[in-house]
Structure 1
Amino acid sequence: MIVDAQRDDVRSWQNTHALWKGDCDRILTEAKRGKGEKRTAAEADLAALGGEPAAPPSPDRIVTEPTFEGLTRLYATGQPSLGIFSDEGGQFLGGFAMNSDNRQKTLTALNGLWQGNPIRRTRAGDGAYTLYGRRLAVHLMAQPGVAHAFIADPLAADSGFLARFLICQPPSAIGTRLHRHMTPDSGALGAFSSRLRGILDTPMPMDTDTRELQPRVLPLSQGARSLLIEFHDTIEALQAPGGDLAHITGTASKAAEQAARIAGVLTLWQDLQAVEVSGQDMVHAIMLAKFYLSEAARLAEAATVSAEIERAEKLRKWLLESWGEADIAQSEVIQSGPYALRDVKVAKAALALLEQYGWIVRLDKGAVVRGSARKDAWRIVRGLADVV
């Protein structure tokens, strides 16, 4: 039905635009033939004709792997509320918008949307314009390897991008997905779908001319506010040096805001006309925020370990396949090793892992390697003979 309505709107606009263009061309033609009064009359006719009829906005609300420029154009011509939704999140995380040249620009731009900032664009082809009242939701499902690599990316963490997501990795169900054990609850799914359809069919609060969203304020009840403050202060204390959340301060610092956002969603899911967030909804929101915070802590540690192991494995292969010497000094890894390991801290960590698992054996301090006494050097284990 939505497709049919959009088709009718486009046809109506095409007819209106054709009539407008015909009248505009006629007025301009007559103006070119005359002078003085005729030109003045043509100006009055153009003013009376009005501006070019705007095309109906695109009904699309979901995209899968956009660039930020493409997303901006869709905001300008389509809906003010969009979603980047994909069950193949690697397409977006590994796509053009997130490559090495565009990643920082994309991350910071999306951060701005999360905060509700206006979109300001200045380009030679498009000109300069500002879009207010635009919102974006993002839901990505990705394979563990893709997700871990992204979580371990320093830019994604340092830019605050990861902290704005609710990330989780449920345990694998492989081996237990037996059809005979399935007990589908069509009633619950039907109720969910019906409620979601009702929300989507509700007109968005926006300016009809600019399509700028104008959401109302949803205040916290006194009980909800007290619970949120208590939660905030508890999480803040756990971020102190040595605390349980000291390694994910970016995510932890936004936990209270995430809880408030979740509480708002829970409230409006039940009643779009609700006047405030109740204490009970805040209790449930804080429970969810705590779950996602624990997942973030767990996955951050796992992703860091995975990245360190990946770099150590890259070094091991390089030593065995590309380095022709029997031993290696730390300075040689930094100078000649894989590009990702040409940093003192990174190289030291990778060498420590290889030493821990027996792929290299530390030489005595001051051992001479290629004519120089080395503080940190190792013999490479290529076979059993290198172990003894």
Structure 2
Amino acid sequence: MNALPQEIPYRPEGPQPLVRSIAAGDDYPVQALGPLRAAVEAVQGMTLAPVAIPAASALAVASLAVQGFADVETLGGPRPVSLYVLTIAQSGERKSSCDSPLMAALRAYEREQALAQREEIAAWENAFALWKGERDRILNDAKKGKGEKRVAARADLEALGKAPSAPPGPERTLPAPSMQGLIRQYRENQPSSGLFSDEGGKFFGGFAMASENRLATLAALNDLWGGAPVRIGLGGEGVYTLYGRRLAVHLMVQPGVARAFMADPMAGDTGFLPRFLICEPPSNIGNRPQSQVRRDDLALEAFGARLRAVLETSLPMAPETRELMPRLLPLSADARAMLSAFADHVEAGQAPGAEFSHVTGQASKAAEQAARIAGVLTLWRNLDAPEVKPATMADAITLAGFYLSEATRLADAATVSAEIDKAERLRKWLLESWAHPEITPREVVQSAPIRALRESPSARAALASLEKHGWLIRLPEGAEVRGASRKEAYQIVRAAHEV
């Protein structure tokens, strides 16, 4: 290889790996959790996990508990207080250990209800058997006769009425259901349910999110978030529509799963991703000495007692259809004024080039998210609360602002990651397939088998990244490359000694 011109700097450290760095996020505003704060800090003290993980669990559990009782007033009208939460953390971050203490009272309640229902289920099974036997007898008699007997059979069937309904099951959560499974949950069990999983990859990689089902799943989950009726086909049963159902979601996923989900155009284009409160806290792994573990059993007992009290309160619903009939939780005048000011601030931030211009989906829902969080905190304190107070709205705006900042940070990281991916593909092609010691932007555009680099701005961005990391050295303007003077060209560094 020809000696390099003297103007080219020497890099003794050699080429550096291309790193997908994610800027550190803001500290979680735990002080804004209000009535949930003590339990969250108790779980964090036990696990030494990032506080954002138990905070997300507490918000989701509280949302699940109270969502059937009231819809909250927002700037766009009444909305459910249902929250969709996505927590991103690597394996070993103690996601399950954070979730379990906050779900313990719910799991205990479900077990107790299942045991208590044994006699009720046995009575229903007997009643159903009698009903079915009588129906079969009427149908058999109708088959044997004609005319008047068939008319009489029709009248007997009408008098017999519908089959006795099975008692609803006590289960409030499902880990990774198909949409058909979720509809059956609503039809046969509870009208207020949750999609909760500390292994959210099972949902994203499961039947509901398979390519042929994904659009229908996202549409149905969007409808549930908005409180709209859910309409979906149930195989041989035809199309089924359910009214007055509520869904809370908390999915804990590893970073790789989250990246794939967040990069899926369908998740963004359908508006599904922007409905989530997303957080990826910095890891605490390697910094969790047992000497720092602390317990606060009283705080966890108080949280469990409040959760049980809410679960034991009868949901407002129609007895026949079990359609929820939540009341309206209004905002106080001051709380509404605060929410309006927050909405205006976020709206201004969506202007071209402003801080939220690349996350307009999340930003446009930030004010509604704040109202939903305020509704959850208010109802957790008191199911009969007459309105959302200003102090609670202030806390909710702080939390919604944090989650919006996380969405912004992670979107920035995704953009950086995409650029790094392009540069890495270019690096491999240059080292493995390009025969010359130099490269120009025009040659990248014309020759590199990378569709994303077919335009000069993208090619120059990738070349700049490789130069920054020491894989390329920019030649002086006018350097001769393959018999021609080049305005822009780069020397390829194939090994450290070539620098």
CA shift at 1:265, angstroms?
A: 0.7
Q: CA deviation at 1:246?
A: 2.2
Helix, strand or coil for the counterpart of 1:141? strand
Alignment of 1:233 with 2:344, yes or no, is yes
SS in structure 2 of the partner of residue 217 of structure 1: strand
In 2, the alpha carbon distance for the partners of 1:330 and 1:265 equals 54
Aligned residues: 382
- The answer to whether 1:61 aligns with 2:175 is no
The question of whether the paired residues in 2 share the 8 Å contact of 1:219 and 1:276 is answered with yes
Q: Give 1:195 shift.
A: 0.4
% identical equivalent positions: 58
Q: 2:128 aligns with which of 17, 26, 33?
A: 17
Q: Is contact 2:444-2:453 (8 Å) kept?
A: no
Query: 1:182 Cα deviation (Å)?
Result: 1.4
2:202 alignment partner in structure 1:
91
Q: In the superposition, relative to structure 1, how do residues 156 and 46 fare at CA in structure 2: closer, same or farther (>3 Å)?
A: closer
Question: Of the candidates 119, 135, 151, which is equivalent to residue 230 of structure 2?
Answer: 119
Q: State the Cα deviation string for residues 63-113 of structure 1 (Å, max 9, x = none).
A: 222233332333233222221111122222343433455444433332222
Q: Using the alignment, how far apart are the partners of 2:481 and 2:360 within structure 1?
A: 44
| Secondary structure of residue in 1 paired with 2:328 | coil
The AA in structure 2 aligned to 1:382 is: R
* Partner Cα separation in structure 2 for residue 180 and residue 289 of structure 1: 34
1:356 correspondence with 2:480: no
1:290-301 matches, cutoff 5 A: 290-301=401-412
* Distance apart, 1:347 and its partner CA: 5.6
**SS at structure 2 position matched to 1:166:** strand
Report the counterpart of residue 50 of structure 2 in structure 1.
Answer: none
Cα drift, residue 267 of structure 1: 0.8
2:288 alignment partner in structure 1: 177
Does structure 1 residue 192 correspond to structure 2 residue 306? no
Aligned counterpart for 1:48 among listed residues 159, 170, 175: 159
- Take 2:489 and 2:468, find their aligned partners in 1: how far apart are those partners? 14
Greater relative CO, 1 or 2 (CA 8 Å, sep 6+): 2
Corresponding residue SS for 1:56:
coil
Contact 2:229–2:242 (CA under 8 A) maintained in structure 1: yes
Counterpart in the other structure of 2:250:
139
- Under a length normalisation based on structure 1, what TM-score does the superposition of the two structures give? 0.86
Cα distance in 1 for residues equivalent to 2:231 and 2:135: 32
- Cα separation, 2, equivalents of 1:45 and 1:348: 81
2:274 paired with 1:160: no
Moved more, 140-149 or 12-21: 140-149
Residues of 2 paired with 1:62 and 1:333: CA distance?
53
Shift of 1:359: 2.5
From the superposition, tell whether residues 342 and 111 of structure 1 become closer, same or farther in structure 2 (CA, over 3 Å). Answer: farther
Residues of 2 paired with 1:162 and 1:333: CA distance?
36
Is 1:331 aligned to 2:442, yes or no? no
Shift of 1:293: 1.8
| Alpha-carbon displacement from aligned partner over 1:189-248 (angstroms, at most 9, x marks no partner) | 110011011112212211121121111111111111111111111221222223222222
Q: Which amino acid aligns with 1:144?
A: P
Residue equivalent to 1:288: 399
Q: 1:83 to 1:343 in 2, by over 3 A?
A: farther
The CA deviation at 1:15 is 1.1
Q: Residue type matched to 2:469 in 1? A: Y
Find the aligned partners of 1:102 and 1:313 in 2 and give their Cα distance: 33
After TM superposition, the structure 1 = structure 2 runs for residues 228-267 of structure 1, keeping only pairs within 5 Å, are 228-267=339-378
When the two chains are superposed, the root-mean-square deviation of aligned CA atoms in Å is 3.1
> Could you say if the C-alpha distance between residues 233 and 45 of structure 1 is closer, same or farther in structure 2, counting changes exceeding 3 Å?
same
> Could you say if the C-alpha distance between residues 265 and 294 of structure 1 is closer, same or farther in structure 2, counting changes exceeding 3 Å?
same
8 Å CA contact 1:164–1:251 kept in 2: the answer is yes
Q: Which amino acid aligns with 2:372?
A: R
Q: Secondary structure at the match of 1:107?
A: helix
Q: Is the 8 A contact 2:445 2:454 kept in 1?
A: no
The answer as to 2:458 corresponding to 1:383 is no
- CA change 1:346–1:173 in 2 (3 A) is same
> 1:348: Cα distance to partner?
5.5
Do the aligned partners of residues 47 and 225 (structure 1) sit closer, same or farther apart at CA in structure 2, a change above 3 Å counting? same
Shift in CA distance, 377/77, structure 1 to aligned 2, threshold 3 Å = farther
Are the equivalent residues in 1 in contact too, given 2:275–2:362 (CA < 8 A)?
yes
Structure 2 unaligned segments of length 5 or more: list them. Answer: 1-111
Measure, in 1, the Cα distance between the counterparts of 2:215 and 2:474: 39
2:330 matched to 1:219? Answer: yes
SS at match of 1:210: coil
